[in-house]
Chains A and B, each alone.
Chain A
Amino acid sequence: MTAVVPSPPPFDPELGAALAVLGEQLPPALTPEMIPLLRQGAAVMGTISDDDLRRGGKFTVEERAVPGLDGDPDVSLLICRPTGATGMLGCVYHTHGGGMILGDNRAGIDLMLDFAEEFGLVVVSVEYRLAPETPHPGPVNDCYAGLLWTAAHAGELGFDPGRLIVAGGSAGGGLAAALALMARDLGGPELLGQLLICPMLDDRNGSASAVQMQGLGIWDRTANRTGWGALLGAAAGGPDVSPYAAPARAADLGNLPPAFIDVGSAETFRDEDVAYATRIWQAGGRAELHVWPGGFHGFDMMAPTAVISQDARQARFRWLNRMLNA
């Protein structure tokens, strides 16, 4: 009997149109040979200057090298502090996306700065080492080392340690979820929340959505195999993968900080992200899940003007408002 792959959900009309334009620049399927070229492309497109980060004086910008975990090399943290905020600040600790193989700690930081402006947050964005040069656990350990340092220096950075949130998109969402697991298991800092934007959670890469979206949209099953393969090598998809590499592998999702999870219905990660939220609820935890119909991976970043992107963005602000101000 031949397995029938059901047809994929359609893209949102505006997102589909955007994809028709953008897809030429970023094909769905990425293979390991493409990593150097992708990094070059990302370097060309994604240069955010210190001036951009300062936003006309709204933030001070600083880079700090802090100790790595267990004798690992120093980890660089990009620290943006709001200049005009009054009262006690919070902090968003940001792990950038890029499939574990791409990007730097300025990728995706615009959204964090938007959060920071709205809610009075210090932004700390970690420059973790990338796969495949640094396989698991190097990347997540770098992130955790930066988190430990950040929490321990809350006073110096000027934020209330009770208002610390981890946040990230895509691979960064997976890393943020892993940080919440590590902090719980290893006696790390108490987190106020975990903001997981279309997070990359499951190295098994075999969900219905992964199969359904093969060759479509952004970051399809082939690209996902490239990312997980770089991080885990031959272990990817096998029996012995740490939940700190792939949070979906965690046997216990109880006692985690409140989670915000969003994802598109037309992307590889849909089912693993829905499952993660479901398992948090089943474990008695708090999670807010948004599945945006017809959204491809990272749609709100790539097509920020689409109305569904505006809605998705607002949902995050509303969740943060409940976390920080309610």
Chain B
Amino acid sequence: MRLAALDADASAAVQVIAYFDGLVEAGAGLQSIVRGAAVLAGCPARLDDTARRVHIRMLPDGIAAPAPLAGGEHRADDKDTERRAGDERWPGAAAGTAVLRLERSGAAGPVDAMVLERAAAAARAVLDRTRGRAPAADQPAMVELLVDASAPADARLRAGRLLGLAADTTAYAMVRHGGEIRVLSGDADPPYGRAGIGPAVPVLDLPVSHDAARIAVRFTAAGTDDDPGEPIIRYGELGALAMLTHVPEPGAVPDVRVLEQAGTPWLLPTLHAVTTTASLRAAATHLRLHHSTLQDRVAQAEHLLGWSLHDQAGLLRTHLALILRRLHRNP
């Protein structure tokens, strides 16, 4: 009889509730809460509160294991990018300014949703009790000042210090979908949610990072069928694609109109998968479709679009059309 041996039946949810109620009642700390989430869900769990600099990660056997890499933009490499991309697909729940996530990339476990809800609520209570109000990292006026190139340098440095950023450290700007600007320490992970990320730069160069983040956020997507794509985009990864923001009226590009008018619900996610994976087989896996089903869809898509999806030129054309559509939708 062990705690981790929860069944997938209704009583499992009741047990999850009993467990976290027990923790809260006994005044358990954040580590215990994150550990409970990992043990009960049976996968690694993590709590990240960038503003409060809280980062806790636990394995399902209850062992504390810091995230494999908690680097900022300046340390990003391919693997890091991959890991961060994974982050956004993991199920998560907000706990105030923190986010609790289960590192689950496959099908959801039977109690994931309940674990997230209960653990996040417990974590929020502890954070509020023990860590006080989050530091002023979100104070909009300070942030506005930091990313304003026309403001005097000493005023910007002072704003940086008030936000906990020393002059000799790096930081990056993040622009959320919806326009909210945040500035984060260069070694902090971006918080949960759809956003464009600027490069990590010295504090005085934050206006540059902010400009980059504003461009990057236009390339983000909701990740829905109607708007497939990645929720977090780093400017540094866009390369020459960033130039597409100079297209005056992306919605008027004929290929974008074709996409908008197709009216077939599976079309956009299919095209996104086909243009962003290495093979049709990989695309089928990504879409959780049978290979032959995807082949049928690709044939239909070619018919709807009027161009081929079987050569590089056609794939590039499609990819560009999808990106321009995104820019059209995120003016």
| Interface of A toward B, CB cutoff 8 Å | 10-14, 16-22, 25-26, 45, 301-307, 309-310
Contact = CB atoms under 8 A, between A and B. Distances in A.
B21 interface: yes
Interface in B1-16: 1-4, 15
Contacts of A309: 62
Contacts of A13: 22-23, 26-29, 32
B62 A310 contact: yes
Contacts of A307: 31-32, 35, 62
B28 A25 contact: no
B1 A19 contact: no
B25 interface: yes
A17 B40 CA distance: 12
Nearest to A305: B62
23 contacts: A10-B26, A11-B26, A13-B26, A13-B28, A13-B32, A14-B32, A14-B35, A16-B26, A17-B18, A17-B21, A17-B32, A20-B22, A22-B1, A22-B3, A45-B1, A304-B2, A304-B61, A304-B62, A306-B35, A307-B32, A309-B62, A310-B62, A310-B63
A171 to B, nearest CB: 17
Contacts of A26: 1
Nearest to A18: B3
Interface centre among B18, B20, B28, B61 (most CB of A within 10 A): B18
Closest 3 interchain pairs by CB?
Answer: A305-B62, A17-B22, A13-B28
B56 interface: no
A97 to B, nearest CB: 13
Interface of B: 1-4, 15, 18-23, 25-29, 31-32, 35-36, 38-39, 60-63
A14 B23 contact: yes
Contacts of A301: 2
Contacts of A19: 22
B129 to A, nearest CB: 14
Contacts of A310: 62-63
B26 A305 contact: no
Contact of B23 (A17, A22, A25, A303): A17
A75 B70 CA distance: 56
Contacts, number: 75
Contacts of A17: 18-23, 26, 28, 32, 36
Contact of A18 (B19, B21, B31): B19
B33 to A, nearest CB: 9
Nearest to A45: B1
Contact of A302 (B2, B21, B35): B2
Contacts of B36: 14, 17
Contacts of B29: 13
A18 B1 CA distance: 11
A216 to B, nearest CB: 14
A18 B63 CA distance: 16
Given A14-B28, A21-B15, A26-B1, A305 B22 contact: no
Contacts of B20: 17
Nearest to B16: A21
B25 A306 contact: no
Nearest to A12: B26
Contacts of A20: 18-19, 21-22
A304 B1 CA distance: 11
A305 B4 contact: yes
A303 B22 CA distance: 14
Nearest to B5: A45
A17 B32 CA distance: 10
Given A11-B26, A13-B27, A13-B32, 8 more contacts: A16-B22, A20-B19, A21-B3, A21-B15, A21-B18, A45-B1, A304-B62, A307-B31
A11 B26 CA distance: 8
Given A13-B28, A25-B1, A306 B62 contact: yes
Nearest to A21: B15
A151 to B, nearest CB: 34
A305 B31 contact: no
A302 B3 contact: yes
Nearest to B15: A21
Contacts of B62: 304-307, 309-310
Nearest to B63: A310
Contacts of A12: 26
A317 to B, nearest CB: 15
Given A16-B26, A17-B23, A19-B22, A305 B15 contact: no
B1 A302 contact: yes
A21 B1 contact: no
Nearest to B21: A20
B57 to A, nearest CB: 14
Contacts of B31: 307
